[in-house]
Amino acid sequence: AQSVTQLDSQVPVFEEAPVELRCNYSSSVSVYLFWYVQYPNQGLQLLLKYLSGSTLVKGINGFEAEFNKSQTSFHLRKPSVHISDTAEYFCAVSDSGDYKLSFGAGTTVTVRA
């Protein structure tokens, strides 16, 4: 099973500033990669996913992520955040032969005016 590391547990950021959330996983075998967002006391919502093809993936709400196989990373970025982006973000990985997901511990993003 994959091990997923989200390098920052808390990321404070000012409104309209860029943000990057870092995610590394343990194995370089063929993988599927996901970013989910969770608002307080709610379930998770998919932001974007990488299955194959272009290493730059665009998702909802202006988020994008870049898959780097050699560094086993899948970092999430947004060029300009809004107050409404305040939430917890989870990186998740599955091996291509297994549809179970392994989740990182999460990164809490707090956007301030």
Partner 1 sequence: DGGITQSPKYLFRKEGQNVTLSCEQNLNHDAMYWYRQDPGQGLRLIYYSQIVNDFQKGDIAEGYSVSREKKESFPLTVTSAQKNPTAFYLCASSITGNGNEQFFGPGTRLTVL
Binding positions for partner 1, rule: CB under 8 A: 1, 4, 6, 9, 32, 34, 36, 41-46, 49, 51, 90, 94, 96-101, 103-106
Nearer to partner 1, 62 or 106 (CB): 106
User: In terms of Cα–Cα distance, which of 53, 104, 97, 98 is closest to 76?
Assistant: 104
Residue 15 beta carbon to partner 1: minimum distance, rounded to whole angstroms:
26
Nearer to partner 1, 13 or 101 (CB): 101
Q: What are phi and psi of 20, to 5 degrees?
A: -130, 130
44-50 and 56-58 beta bridge pairing: unpaired
Six-digit token string for 92: 């998740």
Residue 34 beta carbon to partner 1: minimum distance, rounded to whole angstroms:
7
Residue 47 beta carbon to partner 1: minimum distance, rounded to whole angstroms:
11
Six-digit token string for 18: 């860029």
Nearer to partner 1, 15 or 38 (CB): 38
Residue 51 beta carbon to partner 1: minimum distance, rounded to whole angstroms:
5
Contacts of 94 (CB under 8 A, 6+ apart): 2, 31, 32, 34, 100, 101, 102
